[in-house]
Amino acid sequence: MRDGTVGAGRILGPQRRNLWFWVFVGPFVVGLGLFTYVPLAWSVYLSFFDAHNTVSPSGSDFVGLDNYGAMLGDDAFLGSLGTFLVFTAFIVPATYALSLGLALMVNRLRIAQAFFRSVFFLPTACSYVVAAVIWKLSIFNGVRFGLANTVLGWLGGEDIAWLSTTDPPWYWLVIVTVRLWLQAGFYMILFLAGLQRISPQLYEAAAVDGARPGWQTFRHITFPQLRATSVAVVLLLVINAFQAFDEFYNLLSDARGYPPYARPPLVYLYYTALGQDQNLGLGSAGAVILALIIAVATVLQARWFGLGRKGED
């Protein structure tokens, strides 16, 4: 009896801490498994079958790696990866520069710092769908009463069809600005945390050595000390760019002549798996390929930037 009590005590831990740990964490773990890992595993399973209009194919529908070969040979899917590269080239440096600039500005405030921090962070709580609809119907509406065209009219310019798929591709400006507004505040908070970890003694020592405040101090003190934060921000930005869906789908899905090159990977996979053909096997293969690309790109970036290297602050 005593051995059983001792064993139960070891499992439950002192003061039943292990029990309470699982009471609080258990529901999250169960939900994560049911709604994340099980669908992921099932998607990998579907990718080896000819699964049209079904999520439970039979053994006779097994096609092996044919779905992967078809997806890698699909010009539309490869073009969607090219769209991702273009989108990344715009959104990653723009978000990085804007969020870092906001963090530097807010960090220098001596009054109402919490207010401005909250104001810039607030758009993060907005839904991507809602923001895309606002950008589409109110700000970048192609008619004269849209905010952007109204401002152009005040300046003597002509109305622009912002979401037209013809040249010039103004829709890129709409997509990039809505993503900037939505996510810059989040990365500003990350940079603020990094700025507040910098020891004031470094700035005092730099001032004693004759360093001028402003660009010189930022270049030689602030920016090098933000290296670890910068690496994390860039990694998250690239991963989020891979996951772009809502703004492309809601801004361009009903545009006439919707060009394939305006579809990022997730939009293309959505139409493949849930469009008219509903080829869930092919869509699952594309999702697995995209997940592998994200994983490889993340590992390569981490190694290139030296993330987790010993001695890294």
* Pairs from 42-51 (Cβ < 8 Å, separation ≥ 24): 43/284, 43/287, 43/288, 44/284, 44/288, 46/280, 46/281, 46/284, 47/281, 47/284, 47/285, 47/287, 47/288, 48/281, 49/281, 50/281, 51/279, 51/280, 51/281, 51/284
Domains of the chain plus CATH, in order, are 47-305 (1.10.3720.10)
Residues 6+ apart with CB under 8 A from 235: 298, 301, 302, 307
Q: State how far the Cα of 26 lies from the Cα of 120, in Å rounded to an integer.
A: 35
Whether residue 168 is preceded by a cis peptide bond, meaning omega within 30 degrees of 0, is yes
**The model's pTM:** 0.80
pLDDT at 59: 67
If you count them, how many residues does the chain have? 313
The alpha carbon of residue 269 and the mean position of all alpha carbons in its chain are separated, in whole angstroms, by 17
Question: What are the per-10-residue average pLDDT scores of the chain (313 residues)?
Answer: 50 62 85 90 90 78 88 86 85 94 90 89 90 89 83 86 76 90 94 89 80 80 88 89 84 59 77 82 90 85 68 46
